[in-house]
Amino acid sequence: MAFTLNVNGTDMEVDAAPETPLLWALRDHLGLTGTKFGCGIAQCGACTVDIDGLATRSCQFPVEAAEGVKITTIEGLGANGEHVLQKVWTEMNVPQCGYCQSGMVMAAAALLKDIPEPTDADIDLYVDNICRCGTYPRVRQAIHRAAELMKA
């Protein structure tokens, strides 16, 4: 079945079964491999994308529900790493292995849209992605730094 998805501001056609997770439509059908597969049960957050302004775990979001919404992936946040979060992530050396980081950045971007000056508690609540390397202190620091830069 064919679906028209608005991904990173562009309408794209995906031919997939209606129940296909958005994650696989993005990766396998559209070649947007920045969104990662982690657990497949919407717990780890590696597959986080922005759907109409909300951080959403794409591994459990069916492609049929993705028509008519705006989807932003890590590639659409800043294709060349120009988004303030991407810059801060690099400057502050946040990732260790980096596998979870695209989902982490997408969750952080959604948080900063809703709460421009988050507390550590806000970050812990909204950016609940799993990082096997344990970079949580650097993630918090980077989000606070990005919030400062976005405010200026």
Express each pLDDT in 112-152 by its tens digit: 999 999 999 999 999 999 999 999 999 999 999 999 999 98
The pLDDT tens digits for 54-107 are 999 999 999 999 999 999 999 999 878 899 999 999 999 999 999 999 999 999
Show the CA angle centred on residue 111, arms to residues 56 and 53, nearest 5°: 50
Cα 113 from chain centroid?
A: 13
pTM check: above 0.85 = yes
Q: In what order do the strands lie in the sheet with 10-15?
A: 10-15, 2-7, 70-72, 48-51, 54-57
Predicted local confidence at residue 79, as pLDDT: 77
**CB-based contact 62:14 (threshold 8 Å):** no
Cα 23 from chain centroid?
A: 11
Q: Would you say residue 30 has pLDDT above 90?
A: yes
